[in-house]
Amino acid sequence: MIMRRENTTCCIAGGGPAGMMLGFLLARAGVAVIVLEKHADFLRDFRGDTIHPSTMQVMHELGLLDEFLRLPHVREDDLVARFGAEDITVADFSHLPVEAPFIAFMPQWDFLDFLADHGRAYPNFRLLMQTKATELIEENGRVAGLNAEGPDGPLGIGADLVVAADGRRSDVRAAAGFSVTELGAPMDVLWFRLSRRPDEPAQAFGQVAAGRFFIRLNRGDYWQCAFIIPKGSLERLQAAGLDAFKAGLLALAPELADRTGELFSWDDIKLLSVAIDRLERWWRPGLICIGDAAHAMSPIGGVGINLAIQDAVATANLLAKPLREKTLTDADLAAVQTRREWPAKVTQGAQIAIQNRVITPLLAADKPVAPPWPLRLLQRFPLLRRLPARMVGMGVRPEHVGPELRERQRIDASQSVR
C-alpha cells in the first residue's frame, strides 16, 4: 500500500494519561498535535484508576474541575490498612490545601474520554485511534517524525517533536535506542473483579495477613481487587489450583465466600508484572519520553498516573511556546528532564524502600503480621497522617498550569462569549 504522509508540530505516541493530557494542553496553547492510540477505544480494565488531588488541582486551574467531578467516581478521604481485625488510617487527605482534598477512583476510560473530548474542541488537535507507531523517521541525526500503521494502512507523520508516552513497554523508546536502568520489584499483582453488595462499606482498603496482601477498590457495583504475590510466583499458584487461590483469598476476606465463584478460571485473573525502571536520558534531538516510558512506577500508592500527568503539565509549560514558534532546541528538551527527573527518582526511592522494608517481609511471613511501628505512630498521632497524604496525594514537586495556558483559558472564554 502507498504510505500516506502528514505533517504536524508534535506527534504523541500513546493515548494514556500522559499522552492525552499533553495533547490537550498543547492544542490549548495553539500547537498542532496528533495523538496516536493503538487501541480502538479506552475500554481496558485493570488500569490505574486513582485520580489524586494533584491531578484535580490541575483540572481546577484549567477551569474544568466541576465538570470533571460530574463523571462517575468514588471519593476517598483517607486510606486504610487492615491488619487482622484492626484498621489503621494510613493517610488523611482532607487537610491538603487544594480544591479537591481527596482521591477520586474513576475508571480510566472516563478520564481519557474526558481529555479527548476537550482536546477535540480545538481544530489543531487530532486523535488517531487504532494507530500504532512502528518506527522513527530520522533526518541528519534528528528524529523528524514517525511511521505508523492505522486502519487505513501505513501512515508517515513528519513532526518537529515526537513524544513517547506509550507506557513502560514503550516501542518508541526501544526504537530510539534508550538504555533502561532496571531498579527491581519483589512483587507482582493479580487483578480481578468481584461483585459488591450495596450494603457493604464503600471505603477502599488493604487487608494484610501472613504472606498475603489484598486490596479492594470500590467501583460501585463491583470491587476491583488486587492480590499481591511474590515476583514470578504465578506459575506456582496456578499449579496449586484455582481452589487453593480462592482459599487463600477467603483467609483474608471470609465475607467474600459467596462471590469467589465468580472467578471461573485463571482467565478471570490478570497479571500485572510490576517493574520499576527509568531512563538515564529521556530525550534525543526531536524526541522525548514522559510518563512510564521515562520512569515506570510500582503500583504502591497508585501514583503512576499522577506522576505521568505532572510530566505532561511540565512538558506543556516548557515546550508549548518553542513548539508554536518553531524554535525548539535540545536545551528545551533537557529542561523537561531536569524539571521532572528529581520527583521521579524521589518517588521511586520511596517505593523501593516500602518494597524492601514492608512488602518483602510481609510476603515472606508465615504467621500473623502486626502493624509496623511507623503505622502504629500514625494510629497514635493522627496529625502524622498528613505526611503520607501529602506524598501520595500531591507528590514531589506538583506541577501547576503555567501563565501561558492560563492566558489561553481567558482567550478561549472571551472568544466563546463573542
Q: What is the mean pLDDT of residues 210-214?
A: 78
Please give the backbone phi and psi of residue 275, each rounded to the nearest 5 degrees, phi first.
Answer: -145, 145
Has residue 417 got a pLDDT over 60? no
3-class SS at 15?
coil
Across 193-197, 261-265, 333-337, the highest mean pLDDT is recorded for 333-337
Band the pLDDT of 407: cuts 50, 70, 90: low
Q: Write the DSSP assignment of 293-336 as a string of letters.
A: GTEE--SGGG-HHHHHHHHHHHHHHHHHHHHHTT---HHHHHHH
Give the model confidence (pLDDT) of 60-104 as tens digits: 999 999 999 999 998 989 888 877 677 888 899 999 999 999 999
Task: Classify domain 4-74+104-183+276-360+396-417 at the CATH topology level.
Answer: FAD/NAD(P)-binding domain (3.50.50)
Structural contact between residues 164 and 290, judged by C-beta atoms closer than 8 angstroms:
yes
Closest CA to 61 of 406, 415, 404: 406
From residue 306, alpha-carbon distances to 121, 135, 277, 326 in Å are 24, 28, 17, 29
Q: What is the mean pLDDT of residues 180-186?
A: 87
The torsion angle over the Cα atoms of residues 393, 85, 274 and 358, rounded to 10 degrees, is 80
Closest CA to 300 of 362, 252, 342: 362
Structural contact between residues 351 and 300, judged by C-beta atoms closer than 8 angstroms:
yes
Has residue 333 got a pLDDT over 70? yes
Locate the DSSP E strands across 200-358: 205-209, 212-218, 222-230, 270-272, 277-279, 283-284, 287-289, 295-296
pLDDT of residue 28: 94
Structural contact between residues 125 and 33, judged by C-beta atoms closer than 8 angstroms:
yes
Residue type, 245: F
Cell of 1: 500500500
366 versus 145: the higher-pLDDT residue is: 145
pLDDT of residue 29: 94
